[in-house]
Amino acid sequence: MPAASTLSLSMDSNPLKILLASSEAVPFAKTGGLADVAGTLPLEMARLGHQVRLVIPRYGAIDGVAHGFKEWTRITVPTASGSISAIIERGRLSDHGAVGKLPAECDVLAVRHDPYFARKGLYQESGVDFPDNVERFAFFCRAVMELLPALAKADGWTPDLLHAHDWQTALCVVYPRTLYAQQPALKGLRSILTVHNLGYQGLFPASEYPKTGLAWDLFTPAGLEFYGSMNLLKGGLIFADFLTTVSPTYSREIQTAEFGFGLEGVVRERGDRLVGIVNGVDVEVWNPTTDPHVPYRYSASDLSGKQQCKTALQREMHLPVRDVPLLGIVSRLVPQKGMDLVAEVLPELVAQDLQVVLLGTGEPSFEALFRSLQARFPDKIGLRIGFDEGLAHRIEAGADMVLMPSRYEPCGLSQLYSLRYGAVPIVRRTGGLADTVVPYSPRAIREGRATGFAFGEATAQALLTTVLLALRVYEDRNEWRSLVQAGMQTDVSWARSARAYADLYRKALGARG
Ligand code: ADP
Ligand code: GLC
């Protein structure tokens, strides 16, 4: 373990003050990978010596007592329907560090207004979006603006840069340049918007626009208007000083009509301000040698625990305990993730001597489809519809392979967890999947580089052919071990990416215009 002094040498001598605004963050509230990034990046930045504060909505689902959230102050937020008061709760995000890693912590501010946020879901319930999402997130973003003078006054803390994520917080980069342009506490504030998924834009009818509080002269094709509707993400794309997305390949893809969802022109125009930085993972939370969620621990050099995890998973999912290849899927059940392809190939796949374990939640039609497939093949398919963090870990630990046939994938975290847990990823060659998985080929395996399997066409046939190839390679124990070990040794930590963000923050501080 490097001495603390060696570690501190890697800290930045000129700390930056960053406010990171996100609509979800682990361990407080999560629906997907955004939460993993928003809950980990601040700690990585703190480790580099920067001062980061995270601001999130105080959802009802957050266990405020367990997380030690306490009321800190109250602010008044002007909105289109009058002033609304919000409680600002304060807590800490921390990690105890580990071998070679300093402990880190940062301040968390949670914006509390129960009529908006004390609900079961974050954005929707039973698959239906809340009808007041514009009000909710415009309110949140305005609360972030109103919070800045409070922070300056109470703590003498003024951020250099605000880092927003996705459509829910896109207004946080619009307001400083528009509605709040005259606010002294926001003077000189730079901004970055990270696009985690261009498929979700915060698209609403024009009639909702007044709820943002923005002037109508911004509701034009050069502003937040998008073919007659309001597009919140577009506002962020236009006003942020810099844009990032979560992998280099996706940063190129979103400049094309195939992946741009109509915003490719806007993204292309800002191409010189767009950077692709691949996500890391929390290598302590996702660590097969220490993971408290899994029944047996293992490492790349001793995989016996993985075999035991597999047996335990078969039991947990009510599958016969047999020595057959076990394919795992942990995914939102939506078309983006290629779940239609999975449903299409499953009847053919289960004709092979294998088992499939699927954990997911999402579109009711997919849930019903997978339920009926499971009922048809109960000895071959184990299914859990729902969100279950522990089971997600146990699937990565127990599965031999994990399927991620996404139609598009900005980064993807599941395949990074799979690499770390020796569950060989089978992915479609797109976005972050293309950037993080080295596909099997005789040469790549000879050179010890191959970590998974990849296919190009988004078709059930291409997926099937690739799974069949993986099953053949699985028979060759040496080749398989090489894939598993190369994956487990891949560096999927945040180290490099956190530095890339820090470099970009500095660049943003030096640039404008
Ligand atoms: P996305 O954010 O697009 O859903 P990612 O691969 O980036 O995709 O992140 C998904 C995250 O959510 C991973 O941490 C994965 O383990 C987790 N996840 C997805 N579905 C479930 C589920 N049903 N139960 C538990 N965890 C899930
Ligand atoms: C989005 C993307 C996913 C990415 C995650 C975190 O949910 O769909 O690919 O890994 O954000 O950046």
User: The CATH number of the domain where 476 resides is what?
Assistant: 3.40.50.2000
| 409 Cα to the center of ligand 2, angstroms | 7
Gap between the Cα atoms of 343 and 66, Å rounded:
39
Give the per-residue pLDDT at 232: 98
**270 and 316, same domain (yes or no):** no
pLDDT tens digits, residue range 242-272?
A: 999 999 999 999 999 999 999 999 999 999 9
Q: How many domains are there within the chain?
A: 2
Are residues 337 and 422 located together in one domain of the fold? yes
Ligand 1 centre from 417 Cα, in Å? Answer: 10
Q: How far is the CA of 249 from the centre of ligand 1 (A)?
A: 20
Question: Any idea what DSSP says for residue 439?
Answer: B
The answer on 308 and 200 residing in a single domain is no
Q: Clarify whether residues 363 and 425 are in a common domain.
A: yes
**Strand-pair category, 355-362 with 381-385:** parallel
User: Using CA positions, which residue lies closest to atom 1 of ligand 2?
Assistant: 196
Q: Is the CB of 388 under 6 A from ligand 1?
A: yes
Separation CA 233–CA 225 (nearest Å):
11
Q: Pick the closest to residue 57 from 160, 168, 214 (CA basis).
A: 168
User: Rounded distance, CA 490 to CA 497, Å?
Assistant: 14
pLDDT band at residue 102 under the 50/70/90 scheme: confident
Indicate whether 245 and 313 sit together in one domain.
Answer: no
Q: What is the pLDDT of residue 171?
A: 98
What's the start-to-end Cα distance of the chain, in Å? Answer: 45
Q: Is pLDDT at 96 greater than 90 in this prediction? A: no
Within this chain, do residues 274 and 338 fall inside the same structural domain, yes or no?
Answer: no
Ligand 2 atom index nearest CA of 406: 9
Query: Considering every ligand atom, which ligand is closest to the CA of 254?
Result: 2
Report the pLDDT value the prediction gives residue 168, as an integer from 0 to 100.
Answer: 98
Q: How far lies 454's CA from each of 14, 451, 460, 464, in Å?
A: 42, 10, 13, 11
pLDDT digits (tens, 9 = 90+) for 337-351: 999 999 999 999 999
The mean pLDDT value of the chain amounts to 95
Nearest-atom number in ligand 2 for the CA of 246 is 12
Mutational test site, ligand 1, from 41, 331, 359, 433, max ligand atoms within 8 Å of CB: 331
Return the pLDDT at 95.
Answer: 84
Asked if residue 407 is part of any domain, the answer here is: yes
Per DSSP (E only), the strands in 58-216 are 70-79, 82-95, 104-112, 124-125, 128-129, 161-165, 190-195, 203-204
Percent of the chain exceeding pLDDT 70 equals 96
Pairing state between β 51-57 and 82-95:
unpaired
Distances (CA, A) of 20 to 39, 40, 118, 325: 10, 11, 22, 42
pLDDT of 12 above 70: no
Q: In which band, very low, low, confident or very high, does the pLDDT at 4 lie, cut at 50, 70 and 90? A: very low
Which of 503, 501, 495, 413 has its CA nearest to residue 163?
501
User: For 45-82, b where at least 16 C-beta lie within 10 A, e where not — what string?
Assistant: bbbbbbbbbbbbbbbbebebeebebeebeebebebbee
The reported pLDDT for the residue numbered 10 is 56
Tell me if 215 is assigned to some domain. yes
CB distance 198 to ligand 2 below 6 Å: no
| Ligand 2 atom at minimal distance to the Cα of residue 36 | 6
Residues in the chain: 513
The CA distance from 190 to 176, in Å, is 9
pLDDT at 513: 47
Ligand 1 near 328 CB (within 6 A): no
Ligand index nearest the alpha carbon of residue 329:
1
**Residue 171, both tokens:** 């207004």
- Dist CA 353 CA 435 (whole Å): 31
pLDDT for res 126: 81
Nearest residue (CA) to ligand 1, atom 12: 32
CA of 32 relative to ligand 1 center, distance in Å: 5
- Please give the DSSP secondary-structure letter assigned to residue 218: G
292 is a domain residue = no
CA–centroid distance, residue 320 to ligand 2 (Å): 34
Whether the Cβ atoms of residue 402 and residue 342 lie closer than 8 Å to each other:
no
CA of 33 to the centre of ligand 1 (A): 6
Q: Is residue 28 part of a domain?
A: yes
- pLDDT tens by residue, 106-142: 999 999 999 999 999 999 988 799 999 999 999 999 9
Name every residue whose Cβ is closer than 8 Å to that of residue 78 and which is 6 or more positions away in sequence.
142, 146, 213
Q: What ligand has the least distance to the C-alpha of 410?
A: 2
Residue 33 Cβ < 6 Å to ligand 2 = yes
436-465 pLDDT tens trace: 999 999 999 999 999 999 999 999 999 999
Other C-beta atoms closer than 10 Å to the C-beta of 413 total: 24
Residue 408 lies in a domain: yes
The residue whose two tokens read 């180290």 is 495
- Tell me what pLDDT residue 100 has: 65
- The neighbouring-strand residues paired with 328 are 357, 402
Residue 127 has what pLDDT? 78
Domain encompassing residue 163: 17-280+494-509
* Ligand 1 touching residue 412 (CB < 6 A): yes
Token pair 């849930």 is at which residue? Answer: 367
**Could you tell me if 443 and 366 lie in one domain?**
yes
pLDDT in tens, 364-395: 999 999 999 999 999 999 999 999 999 999 99
Tell me, in angstroms, the distance from the centre of ligand 2 to residue 34's CA: 6
Residues 471 and 498 in one domain: no
142-187 residue pLDDT tens: 999 999 999 999 999 999 999 999 999 999 999 999 999 999 889 8
Question: Given the CA of residue 336, which atom of ligand 2 is nearest to it?
Answer: 8
Position 3 in a domain: no
What is each CA distance from 484 to 115, 228, 309, 396, 448, in whole angstroms?
49, 50, 15, 12, 10
488 alpha carbon – ligand 1 mean position (Å): 19
pLDDT of residue 309: 98
My answer on whether 476 and 504 are in the same domain is no
Ligand 1 closest atom vs CA 359 = 23
Whether the pLDDT of residue 240 is over 50: the answer is: yes
From the CB of 57, is ligand 1 less than 6 Å away? no
Neighbours of 184 (CB within 10 A): 10
119 and 60 in one domain? yes
Whether the per-residue pLDDT at 503 is higher than 80: the answer is yes
User: Cα torsion for 291, 398, 452, 322, to the nearest 10°?
Assistant: 160
Q: Would you say the CB of residue 34 lies under 6 angstroms from ligand 2?
A: yes
Task: For 97, list phi and psi in degrees, rounded to 5.
Answer: 80, 175
In this structure, the answer to whether residues 320 and 267 fall within a common structural domain is no
- Cα–ligand 1 centroid distance for 278 (angstroms): 16
Alpha carbon of 408 to ligand 2 centroid (Å): 10
Both 199 and 118 in one domain: the answer is yes
Phi (first) and psi of residue 142, to 5 degrees: -70, -35
Nearest to 384 by CA among 305, 313, 296, 310: 313
Reduce the secondary structure of 17-74 to three states and give it as a string. Answer: EEEEECCCECCCECCCHHHHHHHHHHHHHHHCCCEEEEEEECCCCCCCCCCCCEEEEE
- The helix (run of H) or strand (run of E) holding residue 402 is strand 401-404
